[in-house]
Structure 1
């Protein structure tokens, strides 16, 4: 019995050490982005109320669940799932012997995320300045947005059905980063934050505000989608499958990254 236990322990250790097990474990890790102290949430202070980006994964209907399981390619495109949800094919005795192939079009089927990385200074949006060279002590300044600023992201290359691709990339980036993301966000003029920055005497102070963003990189898979019906059996067949590398910049909504500097000379 003792050698049985030794063998079981050996097999268990071997399984944990195998590349496949390591890869699976790695895939389960949530890449939650850690926000540095220099980045502040301005959702409550923002004078422009940005709409919340609520893009939950579209739940497939029972029919859609069954039909997409027949596909050899993973189908995650919310718009394709919505179209299948709105479809219904009833079985009837007359359908025996019936055959049909229905072309549903060429679709981006799924997006595989490879890297989700933040750029905390994606775009400069504001500068607050004060000249304290004639002062005798510290002068305190805080962030005030001088003018309304629209911050836009986008794909880094042209692709077919770009809006479908953007939606899949946004869903995956939000899931991985756990941050409020949107391809368009606005910082309203007059937005303020109470965080204080001290400008020493005989110095000029500059407080820079930046809109942060996520750089999302991965691979999108396209294919021609067919609905094949043979009697009472139905399945999805995908032909001419292609893959393409793609990247995107996606701004982080209602967040500002600050950089402060005090200097002897004007900038």
Structure 2
């Protein structure tokens, strides 16, 4: 009898541990994923201090209509081009139950269909935009220096190679890069003259001080897929057929908007 009771107690204890084990597993699953693109401490957001008000680069994913969803899902090739989706959204096709034998093929043109990202790499010193300098070689105490943008700078990105439909490709690459980095990206951003930052850098006595400012950028690489798009109407059915599908590797540099990366150096001799 005692053996049966001890066995029963053992089983109850084992069952009591099961919920806690599941809870531990659930806790592990719910743990947030580590941030892949951590902004270094030397990089600062100057959106409030920037004397040039950059317009926000807002490229939300275009929501396809019900008809567009059906057409996109009917294609064997993935369609993500916002401009192609917009054109399909603006189209209307009326069906009739008496369309037996009706057949039509509408050529919509050659389009970049989708972009597949393979690598997204931030470069926090993409372009040098400013140098603040002070000669403290005659000083006896440290001199404090702050960042002040001496002249307006335009930072431009772009594709690294010539490609068909470059504007469509840039939009898709920008969307993917923004999704992966969670950074405010734009193919053009401006830092206005007189933009400041309150962080202090100390130049020791008997030293020259250099405060360098850089505009960060993101190097985006991947593959774009092209194809000839046809809208097929067969009776009451509507679907998309893509022919002559080709792929091409492409890269781009995309500046980070309203961010500045700083580098400070103190030396005995001029640089």
Shorter-chain TM-score above 0.5? yes
- The within-5 A match list for 1:197-212 is 197-212=201-216
Partner residue of 2:100 out of 96, 99, 109: 96
Equivalent of 1:71, from 72, 75, 86? 75
* Paired position in structure 2 for 1:40: 44
Shift in Å, 1:60: 0.2
**Distance in 1 (alpha carbons) for counterparts of 2:144 and 2:166:** 46
CA distance in 1, matches of 2:240, 2:229: 7
Deviations 1:120-145 (A, max 9, x none): 11000000000000000100000000
Inter-partner Cα distance in structure 2 for 1:248 and 1:93: 49
Q: TM-score, with normalisation over the residues of structure 2?
A: 0.87
How many angstroms apart in 1 are the aligned matches of 2:231 and 2:93? Answer: 11
**Who wins on radius of gyration, i.e. which is larger?**
2
Could you say which residue in structure 2 is the equivalent of 1:128?
132
**Which residue of structure 1 aligns with residue 169 of structure 2?**
165
In structure 1, what is the Cα distance between the partners aligned to 2:229 and 2:34?
32
Q: Which runs of 5+ in 1 are unaligned?
A: 1-28
CA–CA distance in structure 1, aligned partners of residues 260 and 216 of structure 2: 7
Q: Which residue of 2 aligns with 1:139?
A: 143
1:187 and 1:221 mapped to 2: Cα distance? 35
Unpaired runs of at least 5, structure 2: 1-32
Indicate whether 1:114 and 2:118 are aligned.
yes
Partner secondary structure for residue 93 of structure 1: coil
> Which structure 1 residue ranges, 4+ long, deviate > 3 Å from structure 2?
29-32
CA RMSD across the alignment: 1.0
CA deviations on 1:3-50 (whole Å, 9 max, x unpaired) are xxxxxxxxxxxxxxxxxxxxxxxxxx7874100000000000000000
Q: What is the rounded CA distance, in whole Å, between the counterparts of 2:130 and 2:115 in structure 1?
A: 35
1:31-75 Cα deviation digits (max 9, x unpaired): 741000000000000000000111110000000000110000000
- Mapped to 1, the partners of 2:226 and 2:99 lie a distance apart of 31
